[in-house]
Every structure is written in structure tokens, then in C-alpha cells.
């Protein structure tokens, strides 16, 4: 796992070629090598790991965050792109705190990643939180975002109010 964190591509390549690697092993926080590579901006290592037949690219950690969520949290556009190209990664997963990758990208103001997630057509910007209101309201409440954000997400509740009222 340390090689994935440090971006040591040659070591990862050698370990994968040698075989016997536990692709889905977790550290104390439940993070896998692919989650660590995604978080620490090593998209080439993410690609190498995705080529492994037994890899589970959507395996959540103890917080319920997937490698895609960690890539979004860490502003790792290249890793997000690589993971989204994979058919078995859920871009609309939700962690134990109720945050989806889209919500994390919004929270951190990463417009490019927000657009990438929305373009998949597989995320729900109108997801409701536990209170019954749009979850994006909870994420954006109290933050001063550019006016463009209003055009990125549009969701109307039963009153006809947009998601960011």
C-alpha cells in the first residue's frame, strides 16, 4: 500500500507481475491500495490496479467512502476520470455521513469534477437528505459559490423551489 501512496509505479508494476497480491486488502482505516492511489493523485497506479481481474474498485472504507469519493475529496481529476471510465464504479454512492462524490466535489468547490460526475448521467443531484430536503442544500449552505453553481444543479421540490433556495 505504501507504494500506492508514494506513487512508486515500478514497484507496483513488479508486485502485480509477481502475483500473490491481495488487491483488496485494507489498511487500519479500511482504505484499499486503489483508494490510496486515487486520493494521492497517482492515476497511473489506479489504471494498473484496475487491470487486475479481482480488483473491487468500489470497495468502501470504514467511513463508507469509495476510491471515487476519495479522489473527489482530494481534487484528483485524473483519478476521477480513470475511475469513471470503469463500468463497475458507482458515481452516486453515499458514505456513512450521507455524502456522495458529487456532494464532496460541491463542498470543495471543484467545478470540473462536479461536471464530470453530472455528465455520467448516473448521479442524483436532487437526492434528499434525512430531513427530506435536497442534500445539495446541506452541502452548499453557508458557502459563497460563484453564480455558475446555480446552473450546474437544478432540482425542484414539490413547492417549485430550486435546490439552492
Model pLDDT for residues 18-38, shown as the tens digit of each residue: 988 898 999 999 999 999 999
What is the pTM for the complete model shown?
0.81
Torsion angle, alpha carbons of 153, 67, 77, 122, to 10: -30
C-alpha cell at 109: 468547490
Q: For all residues of the chain together, what is the average pLDDT?
A: 83
Question: 101-157, pLDDT tens digit by residue?
Answer: 998 888 888 889 988 998 999 998 777 766 676 767 666 654 544 434 545 555 554
Nearest one of 102, 20, 111 to 69, comparing CA atoms:
102
Query: For the residues of 36-57, what is the DSSP string, one character each?
Result: HHHHTT-HHHHHHHHTSTT--T
Cα 36 from Cα 65, distance rounded (Å): 12
Confidence of residue 162 (pLDDT cuts 50, 70, 90): very low
So where are the chain's domains?
2-123, 124-165
CATH: 1.10.1740.10, 1.10.510.10, 1.25.40.20, 3.40.50.300. Which one for 2-123?
A: 1.25.40.20
- Alpha helical stretches, state H, 30-126: 33-39, 43-50, 67-73, 77-85, 101-107, 111-119
Amino acid at each position: 500500500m505504501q507504494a500506492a501512496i508514494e506513487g512508486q509505479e515500478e514497484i507496483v508494476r513488479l508486485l502485480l507481475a509477481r502475483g500473490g497480491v491481495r488487491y483488496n486488502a485494507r489498511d487500519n482505516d479500511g482504505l484499499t491500495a486503489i483508494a490510496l492511489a486515487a486520493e494521492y493523485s497517482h492515476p497511473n497506479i489506479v489504471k494498473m490496479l484496475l487491470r487486475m481481474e479481482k480488483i473491487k474498485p468500489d470497495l468502501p472504507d470504514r467511513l463508507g467512502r469509495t476510491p471515487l469519493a476519495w479522489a473527489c475529496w482530494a481534487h484528483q481529476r485524473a483519478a476521477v476520470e480513470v475511475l469513471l471510465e470503469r463500468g463497475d464504479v458507482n458515481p452516486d454512492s453515499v458514505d456513512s455521513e450521507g455524502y456522495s462524490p458529487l456532494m464532496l466535489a460541491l463542498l470543495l468547490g471543484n467545478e470540473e469534477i462536479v461536471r464530470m460526475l453530472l455528465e455520467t448521467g448516473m448521479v442524483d443531484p436532487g437526492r434528499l437528505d434525512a430531513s427530506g430536503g435536497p442534500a445539495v442544500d446541506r452541502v452548499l449552505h453557508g458557502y459563497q459559490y460563484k453564480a455558475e453553481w446555480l446552473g450546474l444543479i437544478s432540482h425542484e421540490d414539490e413547492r417549485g423551489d430550486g435546490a439552492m433556495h
